[in-house]
Copies of this chain bind each other. A is one copy, B any other.
Amino acid sequence: MIHLLRQHIQNRLGDDVEGLDKVLATFEERHFKRGELVLKQGDCCTYVYYIATGCLQVFIYDADINENTRDIVTEDNWCADLTSFGSGQPSAENIKAVEPCVLLAVSRPNFQQLMQTVPQFDKVYRQILEASYANSVYRINTFVSLSALDRIKWLMDYRPKLMSRLSNKLIASYLGISQETFSRLKAKI
């Protein structure tokens, strides 16, 4: 699966990336079953994952033990609790494979070494950060400015494939509404 990561990086930095082989050699391939936890809250997030295939849910539990979904990330994207990963503090978040997943993982020590020794990897990291941040900004704006119905319409426009790919329960959680409300509002469109 490493060729997918190679392509991902080359798409962003060009075909001639110095140190690319060194970078790729540092990643470990890890497989997760549907429903399996990749990261459990309280544990430190010691890996950053490139999703070769599959789909991850990033979520926190509220007082009633509901899963509240901060993000849903699909193949050819990166996933981690970057806050925990960067600080070394325990994670407040959980990451779960909602489909069978093949992930390519870099550990924290390896990541830091790559950052220091491969300048191009530094660029990759910045792009991960920028993309994650841009995504978050979008998402916050939907929460402060849109009704539940409009958030559904927004998701249909912005990430249409998610609608057919994931369970309604998960999408409702991603939109910050109950499963029942999602079911009812969806029927109105």
Taking Cβ atoms with an 8 Å cutoff, the residues of A that contact B are 60, 62, 66, 68-71, 82-83, 86, 92-93, 122, 125-126, 129-130, 132-134, 136-137, 139-141, 143-146, 173-174, 176
Contact = CB atoms under 8 A, between A and B. Distances in A.
B134 A62 contact: no
Contacts of A137: 70, 82-83, 136
Contacts of A66: 145
A52 to B, nearest CB: 23
Contact of A83 (B71, B134, B140, B176): B134
Contact of A141 (B68, B130, B132, B144): B68
B173 A82 contact: no
Contacts of A122: 122
